[in-house]
Amino acid sequence: MTFNTPVPMRGLEGMLKGVILDVDGVIVDSPHERAWGETLRELMEGEWKNIAERIGYTPEMYTTQVYDVYVSGKPRREGARALLEYFQVPNIREEMIDRFC
């Protein structure tokens, strides 16, 4: 989103040419990476425990590299599906993606 209308900023005249707001973690890492990992861990240790046991999931398997490749920059549902596929979760259903998101 781009705005071209100047906004007066008292005391900063001539110092700023623009501002970039990163509200979704695309430009700079954000709490999203941690939140995805925590949600995955909670599901795998709770209601998806039988799946975790079948696939040999451990929380250490979720890394920054996994997040960067499979989740970062993707729409939420696409990232959720990609992460479940990466962990080889069998029979991925829309309800599972809904729960994960």
Instruction: Report angle CA 92, 99, 33 to the nearest 5 degrees.
Output: 95
Give me 48's structure tokens. 């998806």
- Model confidence at 25, pLDDT cuts 50, 70, 90, reads low
Give phi and psi for 79, each to the nearest 5. -65, -40
Decide if 22 is inside a domain.
no
Is 66 among the domain residues?
yes
Which range marks the domain in which residue 55 is found? Answer: 32-100
The answer as to whether 9 is a domain residue is no
User: Which pTM value belongs to this model?
Assistant: 0.69
Instruction: Confirm whether 20 is domain-assigned.
Output: no
Q: Identify whether 17 is part of a domain.
A: no
Q: In total, how many domains does the chain have?
A: 1
The mean of the pLDDT values for the chain is 87
Q: Is residue 13 part of a domain?
A: no
